[in-house]
Structure formats: C-alpha cells, structure tokens
Amino acid sequence: MAGTDSTVEATKQTFVQKFRAWGENPFPPTLLATLITAQYMRPFQAVPMFFPPVLLFTSYANLQGFKTDGAGISAAWSGLYLLLAGRRKQPFMKKWGARGITRGATMGLCLVNMVGGGLAYTMGKREDEEDDE
C-alpha cells in the first residue's frame, strides 16, 4: 500500500466552518448588492439603494485583508435588509414572477450571509490580536 501513504485524505468541514468560510468570502456581498440593485433601480427607490454601496465596501474591505470586520459589517447590513424586506407583504401570485423570485433569492442570500458573516465576525481574529499572542 505504498500509494496510500502519498495521498492526503480530504477533511470534512463542519457546518460552522462552511458558514464561516462563506462569511469571509468577498463574493456573497457583491452578489447581494447586485440583486438589490436589480430590484430597486427601476423604478428607482432611494432607501433600499443605500444597501449596495455598503455591501460593495465590505467586499472591498475583505479583499484588503479586513476579513473579520468586512464579515461583521456585511452580516449586520444583510440582517437589516432582511428585516426591512420581510416587513413588506407580497400577494401570493406575485411571488412566482421574475421580481418575486429575485426577491426570494435576495432574502435567502441575506439570511445565509447574515449567519455566515456573524460566525466569521464572532469567531474571527484580527491581525493585531494575532501579533499579541
């Protein structure tokens, strides 16, 4: 069995590790900003359009090395959007149109982003904390 020594076994990630990796990824906030923009750009609505610039900034901060802080800001703004979008009632038949499916996908992504970003923020370490240890 000489061949089995050189192979590396793939480790299984737990759900917490998967959500944390999701929260530290810069792509989900960018996708969320794109979906929010697609919903509220035409016809233009000013209040929901405050979310895309903040979410794009969190992706930028994440790419600059501030993974923990970017994940926390992204989780907070995703939760805020989920709260505000969940308050609006939508008739049953409009849930199955293009706008309804986009809204459902946006709210689902907000939920996953909120959980993943929250885990990444609470369990993450900052660079200055790692230097002290």
Is the four-CA dihedral 25, 71, 21, 128 of positive or negative sign?
positive
How many whole angstroms separate alpha carbon 47 and alpha carbon 30? 18
For residue 86, give the H/E element and its range. helix 67-87
**Interior CA angle at 115 toward 45 and 26, to 5°?**
70
Q: Which of 71, 78, 74 is nearest to 106 (CA)?
A: 78
What pLDDT tens digit does each residue of the chain (133 aa) get? 455 544 555 677 788 888 888 888 999 999 999 999 999 998 999 999 999 999 999 999 999 999 999 999 999 999 999 999 888 877 777 778 888 899 999 999 999 999 999 999 998 876 665 555 5
Please give the model's pTM, rounded to 2 decimal places.
Answer: 0.81
Q: How far is CA 31 from the centre of its chain?
A: 8
Residues in the chain: 133
Please state, as a whole number, how many other Cβ atoms lie within 10 Å of the Cβ of residue 104. 13
* Structure-token pair, residue 131: 């230097």
- Residue spans per domain, the chain: 29-128
Residue with tokens 């359009």: 49
Q: Which of 77, 83, 76, 67 is nearest to 22 (CA)?
A: 67
